[in-house]
Structure 1
Amino acid sequence: MFTGIVEILGSIIDIAPLDSSESGGQGFSITVGNAAEILTDCHLGDSIAINGTCLTVTQFDASSFKVGVAPETLRKTNLGSLKVGDAVNLERAMNAHTRFGGHMVQGHVDTTVSILSRTDDGNAITFVFQVPEEYKELMNYIVPKGFICLDGTSLTVIDVDDVKRTFSIMMIAYTQTRVVMPTKALGDQVNVEVDMMGKYASKGVEAMIKRFLDGEEGEGMVAKVLDRVLAKRASTTN
């Protein structure tokens, strides 16, 4: 679990599409450098979020660490497009003594969204993002003034347009110097994780409504509503 408060910016120092080393496991691996600040208490198997993606440390030294990236993760995130030298947002998994400055972030990226526009507003920047058509159901969990996690950064949603599948956030000057998003161009992909509390609430309500409608109580309620509608129409006709 994470808070969405980026600790430091690391940099990619190696990418191995088929890492045959013991720590690579014959899969895709990424090695991140300039990370000494968050490795003082690191252990093998620890979770570190790279651009908001929860990954497992398979090897580390004083200033760098390696993670393996599963095929599903490559499909859902922007990690596969990273290049050596790219900066990445880093956050260690939260501990019991962490101040909860962001929101509950799992590090389980839903998909990537594209940067549609960026507009300076005083010393802040307003970014507008578009959700892909095939993931339009995610708009159900994006609400004005709600939480959203973008490349591992906890941010507040400003506006939402469900028809255009867009939403916006505003980034203050302090955050701009401590995360990767201001360095990205229009059209670039950003990892998005919608608020998981919205997902749980939605699934719970859907399940409750389904049980209600499938049960005798639900059938009775539907019958009553139909009776009222028919009675109202009959009285209007007469």
Structure 2
Amino acid sequence: MFTGIIEAIGTISALKNHGDDLRLTVNVGKLDMSDVHLGDSISTNGVCLTVVDFGSDYYSVDVSKETIKYSGFANYQVGSKVNLEKAMRADTRFGGHIVSGHVDGVGEVLAVNDHTRYVEVWVKAPDELAKYIAHKGSITVDGVSLTVNEVKGASFMLWLIPHTLQETIIGMYKPGTKINLEVDVIARYLERLMLGDKAATTEKQDISMAFLAEHGYLK
């Protein structure tokens, strides 16, 4: 479990293919590794990964075929910058929102517009994620907990303050940049809950106006 409050910017120092999987090593920058142990989870650009080797200034993780499929790891290379956050402690402040580290898909930056005190970033999400993205709702972008400020179809807009731009890789975004997206976990569970008994069937179930009316959600 994570909060989406980034602790450091890391740099990918090694990538090794192991069949369909990937061994990734990250130089951690200013991330404090003094309390990290084998088997701990570290969010790497929003993806929850398990530490299989580490030192004072690095850690290594194995990235599965499934994770590569739903995230931007297929596009990363040695030297790529990544946002880092260690797993949330029970005795710390919950500063962002509930972030599982289970990326839902890869979005694309459409535009980056500079303003006096903030930067406006427009992102195109995969169409299948659009229903989970709401105005003033939460979304995780490369591991960063952010607020959606405007929505147009599957595209949404973010306002970034100088601190966020300085402390995360979002300050490096430009049109065409691919980014990891995780939608609000509450929205995912709510959709599943609304299926009721039909959630147990193997057939694909979609929430439609007809479905809502049939099950008493609409009058």
**The two structures share one fold, judged by TM-score above 0.5:** yes
- Is there any run of 5+ residues in structure 2 with no aligned partner, and where? 201-212, 215-219
Q: How far 1:210 moved relative to its partner? A: 8.4
CA distance in 2, matches of 1:128, 1:40: 37
What is the match of residue 194 of structure 2?
205
CA distance in 1, matches of 2:172, 2:186: 30
Matched, 1:82 2:76: yes
Q: Choose from 112, 115, 118 the match for 2:112.
A: 118
Q: How far 1:97 moved relative to its partner? A: 1.1
Q: Choose from 122, 142, 154 the match for 2:133.
A: 142
Q: Which amino acid aligns with 1:118?
A: V
- Spell out the pairing of 1:36-185 with structure 2 (5 A cutoff): 37-132=31-126, 136-162=127-153, 165-185=154-174
Q: How far 1:205 moved relative to its partner? A: 2.0
Q: Percent identity?
A: 37
CA RMSD of aligned residues (A): 2.1
CA distance in 1, matches of 2:30, 2:151: 39
CA deviation digits over 1:200-224, x for unaligned, max 9?
A: 112212327989xxxxxxxxx97xx
Q: How far 1:37 moved relative to its partner? A: 3.0
Q: Which amino acid aligns with 2:189?
A: Y
CA deviation digits over 1:125-150, x for unaligned, max 9?
A: 11111123xxx231111000000000
What is the match of residue 188 of structure 1?
177
CA distance in 2, matches of 1:168, 1:151: 15
Q: Which amino acid aligns with 1:185?
A: K
CA distance in 1, matches of 2:85, 2:161: 19
Q: How far 1:184 moved relative to its partner? A: 2.4
Q: TM-score, normalised by structure 2?
A: 0.86
What is the match of residue 22 of structure 1?
none
What is the match of residue 207 of structure 2?
none
| Bigger Rg, which one | 1
Contact 2:28–2:59 at 8 Å: present in 1 too? no
SS across alignment from 1:73: helix
Contact 2:10–2:81 at 8 Å: present in 1 too? yes
SS across alignment from 1:38: coil
Q: How far 1:60 moved relative to its partner? A: 0.4
CA distance in 2, matches of 1:117, 1:204: 35
CA distance in 2, matches of 1:77, 1:178: 22
CA deviation digits over 1:99-122, x for unaligned, max 9?
A: 111000000000000001111121
Change (3 A) 1:27 1:201: closer
Question: How many matched pairs?
Answer: 202
Q: Which amino acid aligns with 1:147?
A: S
Q: Which amino acid aligns with 2:18?
A: L
Change (3 A) 1:61 1:10: same
Contact 1:36–1:62 at 8 Å: present in 2 too? no
CA distance in 2, matches of 1:77, 1:124: 27
